[in-house]
Amino acid sequence: MTWLIHILNGLAFGMLLFLLAAGLSLIYGLMRILNLTHGSFYLVGGYIGLTVMQFTGSFVLALIAAVVVVALIGAVIERFFLRRFHLDELPQTLVTFGFLFIFSDLSLWIWGGNPLMLNVPHIFQGSVPMGYYSYPYYRLFLIAVGFVVAGGLWWFQERTRLGTMLRAGVDDAEIARALGINVSLLFTLVFAAGAALAAFAGVLAGPVLSLYPGADFEVLIFAFVVVVVGGLGSLRGALAGALLVGIIDDFGKAFFPQFALFTVFVPMAVILVMRPTGLFGRQ
Amino acid sequence: MTALTIDNVSKNFGGVAALSGISLDIESGERRVLLGPNGAGKTTLFHTISGNVVPSAGRIMLFGADITRLRPDRRARLGLARTFQITNLFPRLTVLESVLLALDGASGCGMRLVASPSNARVMDMQAHGLLERWGLAEASSRIVRTLSYGEQRQLEIALALAGKPRLLLLDEPTAGLSPAETRRVVAMVHELPRDMTIVMIEHDMDVAFELADRIAVMHLGRLIAEGDQAAIRSNQQVTDIYLGAE
Amino acid sequence: MTARLWSIAGAAAVLVLLVALPAFLREYSIALATKMLIFALFAMSLDLLLGYTGLASLGHAAYFGVAAYTVALLVVRAGVSSGLAFPAALAAAAVTGAVFAPLALRARGSYFLMITFALSQVVWSVAFGWRTLTNGDDGMPNVVRPNFGFSLDNTAAFYYFTLAVVGVATVLLVAIVRSPFGRALRGIRESESRMRALGFDVWRYQYVAFVLSAAFAGVAGALYAYYNRFVGPEYLYVIQSAEALIMVILGGAGTLIGPAVGAGVIVFLEDFISSLTQHWVLVLGVIYVLVTLFAPRGLIGLVNDARRRWSAK
């Protein structure tokens, strides 16, 4: 039975990672940008959700507020700071790193250094009995949300025109524009969407993991690991990688607490060495 | 002696047959031109000769040595040089540095962490000589990406010649050049040593007929005609393809 | 005066300044200058790989940290003399580079970045988790500085030691990038396929660049271990690798002097701004964003632009 608990924990954590990795991968797949600010989107989103929930008591409002605000921030960053460095990786790295620092300090300033947690929304309070144990509804909800989002993103990618454009991985902006695609708008929308997913994850994570200074860096590293294992630019890869990492991390913490992080990085290194583009990445 | 033997070479890219059973013999010192409409597989064939693409079937022999699976740099050290259809230079280096690299690569001296002054002077002289012959002497300290398209194409060829190759592959050397620049390239190719074997992909028929000893015509990955100028001019299939395609 | 004479004069002036520094700075500042030199070397070592060969690594802290831990382990656990630990640390860093290079070189671009990140994180997690060997998170104190007949415990004495080591390393690095080998690296950075067509064994050049780069990073790591008299897992963490990357980018990749300046600037700013406000991270972030906007080729890029405009008059 403990195995099941561990797997469920791994899945729940994995789903949060998936939300982050999906955004990161989406942004990379289209724009070839490794967005270091992604961790900030998660943390700031979580903090905003926390504040909104403190004022309104509504989890739904918290989610909406976080997603909208962070998406706007993302759009602004893309439009005014990243657009001009299209395909120029070094300035992109420096500027996204700069924003990571900026948001890290600002959120410390505004929300302080103590770890904060959101309250589990009413409907999901309580747990379902499983043998000797009981498993929190909220975590099951997380797993469900993850699958729904994954399904939604998959549908979007495979079945809509916009999704096809994304899959084509606008490798040549000139050709894309010639085909009538508003590349600039697409870039901004995708970046904002990625940021929104991260913020969404931040609020959802609020009740299970806490929000604290430094969580942005930690979560960014995990997201990187997932995206790298799954394959840059691949949605399937983000899901596979996230669930794999989530489960490995949980088992690692449970059985090798001293080496917990090692258990995540070694499979990552091994996979990468065998397949440098990750499990599902493009060659 | 046969400089280049292409023996029944085929190449498939995921179900698409880019090359099907190509067989060619090119004699030492010959000037061979490859003709064919776009998509005929000419550049793919070049890639198999230079090592950028490994054939799915068949063999390639360079001066009697089987090079089918040899890496590009090994082939270069055996005396093979090529230019690229899409200019492939060193954007942020200077013209002089580019030529020095070409000379370094050809000398095959291994890695030198220290440059002896006398060696450096010799190479410098060689580099400047090369640039003079190709009319790039004044541009020697300019950064490659600031050169005009014509100058870049000239540099492409100059780099390929730096190592005094035995077999030279020219991939559309006159593409995009003005008539004056084209004449200059043709003149330079005429002046190349007669013991250098040259295979050229060309679209400009005048250039092709002016430079070629023999011509090979490709279409949809196959070799459809081979012979001297007269034979090709009178070949009905060839005329059909060209009249149809252009 | 020709450009070359200006460069030599400039270098000489900088050297004189660096040597005279301890005479008019207080102890705290001398220590800070020492730290600036150490990170200048670390950044330059990464520049060899990133700026000259075109391989962006997010795992450079691995060699930095392996060297530091080698010093700590030999001195604290094995009682080896501190001075002897130095070459051992260099060797350890080079060997780590030699082992990681074939793995990392299976990829290019973003994937290369990822693999180097992954490999260095594995090393970090070993240092973090193997408490019996490394004390894990608590780190290893009591790393003694070398004694070559005179003690290096004095801040100024250690500064001169560092200056000498970094100076020699810099001369070597300059020689490397100016050599035909260095030119070949730049050619590889610009176009691997062109280099192969010219007869270069590209992989071998990248491999050597990788190992050299790791070795120089190791020198910096050993120096840092002596500087702090302490080694902890943070030496190996991705943040350290990211900082090195930022130093190179901020200063100007592919120039050697750019990253050295970038490192000096960042180390100095971290110290200076944190003494002015607790929000130094915010200030640094803003500076990074501003530098990107106004100096996308780095600080040295700005200087070069100014020089070009000056000589165009």
Task: With respect to residue B85, please indicate whether it lies within any of the assigned structural domains.
Answer: no
B72 and C196 within 8 Å at the Cβ level: the answer is yes
**Are chains C and A in touch, 3+ Cβ pairs below 8 Å?**
yes
Q: Show the tokens assigned to B14.
A: 């995921």
Q: Is residue C102 less than 8 Å (CB to CB) from chain A?
A: no
Q: Verify whether the Cβ–Cβ distance C285 to A100 is below 8 Å.
A: yes
> Measured between alpha carbons, how far is C229 from C209 in angstroms, rounded to an integer?
30
| Residue in chain C lying closest to B162 (CA) | C198
Number of H helices, E strands in chain B: 9, 10
Contact A19, A197 (CB under 8 A): yes
| pLDDT > 70: percent of chain A | 92
| C62 and C222 Cβ atoms separated by less than 8 Å | no
Q: What predicted TM-score, i.e. pTM, was given to this entire model?
A: 0.91
Put simply, the answer to whether A95 touches C289 (Cβ < 8 Å) is: yes
Nearest to C114 by CA among B210, B16, A281: A281
Beta carbons of C114 and A105 less than 8 Å apart = no
For residues B17 and B46, membership in a common domain is answered with yes
> Which segments in chain C show pLDDT lower than 70?
1-2, 313
Residues in B whose CB is inside 8 Å of some CB of C read: 50-52, 71-73, 76-77, 81-82, 84, 88-93, 97-98, 100-102, 104-106, 108, 111-115, 159-160, 162-163
Q: Is C175 on the interface with B (CB under 8 A)?
A: yes
Q: What does the pLDDT read at residue A100?
A: 94
Q: Are C111 and A233 a contacting pair, CB within 8 Å?
A: no
CA distance B69 to A64: 59
**What strands lie across the sheet with B197-201, from one edge to the other?**
B80-82, B167-171, B197-201, B31-35, B214-219, B222-227
pLDDT band of A170, cuts 50, 70, 90: low
Q: What is the pLDDT of residue B14?
A: 80
CB contact under 8 A, C202 and B73: yes
Inspect the interface and report whether the beta carbons of C129 and A88 lie closer than 8 Å.
no
Q: How confident is the model at residue A175 (pLDDT cuts 50, 70, 90)?
A: low
Q: Does residue C231 come out as left (phi exceeding 0), alpha (psi in the -120 to 50 range) or beta?
A: beta
Which two structure tokens, joined as six digits, stand for C299?
């600080």
Q: Decide if B59 contacts B66 (C-beta within 8 A).
A: yes
For B32, phi then psi, to 5°, come to -110, 135
Q: Is the pLDDT of residue A262 over 80?
A: no
Tell me the CA distances in angstroms from C65 to B85, C51, C55, C83, C241, one per residue in order.
Answer: 46, 22, 20, 18, 10
**Domain presence at residue C7:** no
Let me know whether B153 and B196 are in one domain: no
- Chain C residues within 8 A of B90 when measuring between CB atoms: 186-187, 190-191, 194
* Residue B172 shares a structural domain with residue B244: yes
Residue C295 contacts A, CB cutoff 8 Å: no
CATH label, A2-274, candidates 3.30.160, 3.40.50, 1.10.3470, 2.60.420: 1.10.3470
Using the beta-carbon criterion (under 8 Å), do A276 and C115 form an inter-chain contact? yes
Of the candidates C284, C265, C264, C286, the residue with the CA atom closest to the CA atom of residue C274: C284
Q: Quickly tell me which residue has 């070189």 as its tokens.
A: C105
Asked if A102 lies within 8 A of C106 by C-beta distance, the reply is: no
C276–A contact, CB cutoff 8 A? no
- CB neighbours of residue A20 within 10 Å: 29
B partners (3+ CB pairs within 8 A) are C
Residue C179 has its nearest CB partner, among B52, B115, B163, at B115
Q: Is residue B13 part of a domain?
A: yes
DSSP state of A210: P
Do the chains contact at A232 and C110, CB–CB below 8 Å? yes
| Residue A137: pLDDT band with limits 50, 70, 90 | confident
Chain B interface, mutation test: which of C48, C178, C190, C304, most B Cβ atoms within 10 Å? C190
Q: How many domains does chain B have?
A: 2
> Tens of pLDDT along B94-119?
999 999 999 988 887 667 766 677 77
| Residues belonging to chain A | 283
Check which CATH number belongs to the domain holding B193 and give it: 3.40.50.300
How confident is the model over A29-67, as pLDDT tens digits? 888 888 999 999 999 999 999 999 999 988 999 999 999
Residues B146 and B186 in one domain: no
B242 and B171 part of one domain: yes
Distance from CA of C240 to the nearest CA of A (A): 13
- Enumerate neighbours of A (3 or more CB pairs within 8 A): C
Instruction: Tell how strand B197-201 and strand B167-171 pair up.
Output: parallel
Could you tell me if residue B84 is inside a domain? no
Confidence at residue A171, expressed as pLDDT on a 0 to 100 scale: 59
- The answer to whether B73 contacts C179, with C-beta atoms less than 8 Å apart, is no
Closest residue in chain C to residue A278, using alpha carbons only = C111
B123 belongs to a structural domain? yes
Q: Are residues B104 and B5 in the same domain?
A: no
Partners of residue B167 on adjacent β-strands: B80, B197
Distance from CA of C186 to the nearest CA of B (A): 8
A interface test, pick of C121, C236, C239, C240 with most A CB neighbours within 10 Å: C121
Q: Are residues B62 and B184 in the same domain?
A: yes
Q: Is C56 on the interface with A (CB under 8 A)?
A: yes
- Point out the least confidently predicted range of B19-33, B222-236, C43-57: B222-236
Do B154 and B170 lie in a common domain?
A: no
Distance of alpha carbon A112 from alpha carbon A105, whole angstroms = 10
**Would you call C115 an interface residue with chain A, using a CB distance cutoff of 8 Å?**
yes
SS3 C140: strand
Residue span of the structural domain in which C51 resides: 25-238
Q: Is a pLDDT exceeding 50 seen at residue B246?
A: no
Q: What is the mean pLDDT of chain A?
A: 86
Residue B241: domain span: 1-79+165-246
Hey, is the C-beta of C188 within 8 angstroms of any chain B C-beta?
no
CA B148, CA B178: separation in Å to the nearest integer? 12
Facing residue for A269 by CB, picked from C118, C238, C250:
C118
Of the candidates C179, C190, C200, the beta carbon closest to that of B73 is on C200
Residue % of chain B over a pLDDT of 90: 42
Q: Which of C193, C198, C206 to mutate to test the interface with B (most CBs of B within 10 A)?
A: C198
Convert the pLDDT of each residue in A229-256 to its tens digit.
888 878 888 999 999 888 888 887 777 7
Asked if C171 has any chain B CB less than 8 Å from its own CB, the reply is no
C149 touches chain B (CB under 8 A): no
Chosen domain end from B164, B182, B213: B164
Q: Residue ranges per domain, chain A?
A: 2-274
- Torsion, CA C62, CA C64, CA C70, CA C75, rounded to 10: -150
Alpha carbon of C251: minimum distance to chain B alpha carbons (Å): 18
| B183 and B154 share one domain | no
Residue A163 has pLDDT above 80, yes or no: no
Model confidence at A190: pLDDT above 80 = yes
Structure tokens at B206: 């005048």
C117 and chain A in contact, CB less than 8 A: yes
Q: Which of A34, A259, A273 sits opposite C103 (nearest CB)?
A: A273
Contacts of residue A269 in chain C, CB cutoff 8 Å?
A: 103, 115, 118-119, 121-122
Same domain, B153 and B229: no
* Nearest CB neighbour to B90, from listed C175, C190, C201: C190
Same domain, B96 and B148: yes
CA distance, residue A260 to nearest chain C CA (Å): 8
Average pLDDT over residues A148-159: 87
Pairing state between β B57-62 and C230-231 = unpaired
Assess whether chains A and B touch, using the rule of 3 or more C-beta pairs within 8 angstroms.
Answer: no
What is the reported pLDDT for C53? 96
C105 and chain A: CB distance < 8 Å anywhere? no
Q: Give the rounded distance of the alpha carbon of B112 from its chain centre.
A: 28
Domain assignment present for residue C188? The answer is yes
